Structure 1
Amino acid sequence: MAVSISRDLTVRLGEDVNTVKLTDRQQELRAAIQRGEPKCLGVSQLMLGLMVMSYSIPLHFTEFTEVITLGVPWWSGLMFLTAGVVAIVLDKNCTMKFLQLCLMVTVVSVVLSVVAVIIYSVDMQKHPEVPCDKTGEGSCSDEHYVTKLSRGLKSSLLFFTLAQTVISSILSFLLFRQRRTFGQYASLTPDGPSTPTALIPPDFN
């Protein structure tokens, strides 16, 4: 804070250097975040979460495997939705604390996406499609169609989860880079008036 005292003992407070620097850095942070397009990536995460949850509904009418027993599409889909909403809000609320929150949620989304990919892959290997053994009427067995539908849905869920892993990884990298660039200014807080003010000494006469 710049302090100047004139000859008539009037004390003038100038602009706080830290306040100006903080304001400039916040504007730069907002511009940098918006250049990273977190809103677009957040919308993509949101749509993937909805697709994962909607595609998992028919699985409840097929064979119950580890994917359904562990509820993989539901907790992974909800995590995708949460990460997408947080990324969309970050586009409007560009603060360092919210950036760190978004980074944490996105990293958790990446980890859960990898776990879900592993479960889908193992489940599809353990439960392959039943070959078509034609019955006397010349059509395949019901078990063939059930396993074929189940495998097709799991393949779609696996593809969506892989896409989510890539999107979350990209967003995590962008957020981590911004946090490292602007993290040193997170502790700066305005501790004085940002506009010059004048203090008139009391008149003791």
Structure 2
Amino acid sequence: MMSSKPTSHAEVNETIPNPYPPSSFMAPGFQQPLGSINLENQAQGAQRAQPYGITSPGIFASSQPGQGNIQMINPSVGTAVMNFKEEAKALGVIQIMVGLMHIGFGIVLCLISFSFREVLGFASTAVIGGYPFWGGLSFIISGSLSVSASKELSRCLVKGSLGMNIVSSILAFIGVILLLVDMCINGVAGQDYWAVLSGKGISATLMIFSLLEFFVACATAHFANQANTTTNMSVLVIPNMYESNPVTPASSSAPPRCNNYSANAPK
């Protein structure tokens, strides 16, 4: 005999997790519709994910998307580059002027070195070797490269200025020796007095300019070497911790609440 008692179905509570994170902008019991985007959180996340640019000398920020790293270079790089930019222009102009003076006085030395009949002219080993001309041309090239490097500041121009200033310093040292020889071997019998006097004066002037060129070329090469070597130093990379989570939920000051709902399903 079957019982007439109604069969009771056990009430089962099934909990379904909420796919949307809680937000302080939502009213109680309100569910955020699917596909909606919190524009404020996205904007804040994009701003925090972007690395901040640093404008101090020698410090640069990475601007490539997706990396999230800040690259920092030694601050001495900016100091060396600024020193080169300030000094190279003035020193380059001095070198150009010295080169032009060498070519001009070299032409005068060539004219007084000729002998006329039995009268000997000024004997110049510097003119025979062509020092006033190739030396002056080298000084002009060195000065031009230094001025160009101080304006554009490219690695190629800095290296070119460094190399040419080393060559110019060597040529200036050789020129000083040749001009000293010119001042010592002249003054013998049979030479024109005025030619010897003028030649020694011009040789002394060129020797002073050669000494000036030697020190200027050494100083310019020093600044160019500092600017070239400091830019090859290692770069310190600081990872950006905000890049791993570009979208961060807004903080909520409201107490936590349960947004779950239950479904009663009879067995």
Shift of 1:28: 6.0
* AA aligned opposite 2:133: W
Match of 1:171 among 210, 220, 232: 220
**Which of 72, 97, 116 is residue 47 of structure 1 equivalent to?**
97
**Shift of residue 32, structure 1, vs aligned partner:** 3.8
Would you say the 8 A contact 2:85–2:151 is kept in 1?
no
Amino acid at match of 1:103: L
AA matched with 1:181: T
Q: Deviations over 1:106-138 (max 9, x none)?
A: 1111111111111111222122x358xxxxxxx
What is the Cα deviation at residue 180 of structure 1? 2.6
Corresponding residue number in structure 1 for 2:152: 93
Provide the C-alpha distance between the structure 2 equivalents of 1:170 and 1:98, rounded to a whole number of angstroms.
17
Question: Deviations 1:65-100 (Å, cap 9, x if unpaired)?
Answer: 312111110010000000000000001121233212
Give the AA of the match of 1:48: V
* 1:182 match: 231
Counterpart selection for 1:103 from 145, 152, 162: 162
Root-mean-square deviation (Å): 2.7
Structure with bigger helix share is 1
Which residue of the other structure, out of 181, 187, 190, is the alignment partner of 1:122? 181
Query: Structure 2 stretches of 5 or more lacking a match?
Result: 1-48, 50-64, 114-122, 236-242, 244-267
Bigger Rg, structure 1 or 2? 2
TM-score by length of 1: 0.69
**CA deviation map 1:149-177 (0-9, x unaligned):** 11111111111111100111111122222
Q: Is the 8 A contact 1:33 1:94 kept in 2?
A: no
TM-score, normalisation: structure 2: 0.54
CA 30–121 in structure 1, closer or farther in 2 if over 3 Å, else same = same
Q: Classify 1:84/1:71 alpha carbon distance in 2 versus 1 (closer, same or farther; 3 Å).
A: same
Q: Which residue of 1 aligns with 2:141?
A: 82
Compute the displacement of 1:25 (Å): 8.9
Distance of 1:47 and 1:85 partners within structure 2: 11
Identity of aligned residues (%): 21
| Paired AA for residue 160 in structure 1 | F
Which stretch of the first structure deviates more once superposed, 162-171 or 89-98? 89-98
Query: Which runs of no fewer than 5 residues in structure 1 stay unpaired?
Result: 5-11, 132-140, 189-195, 197-205
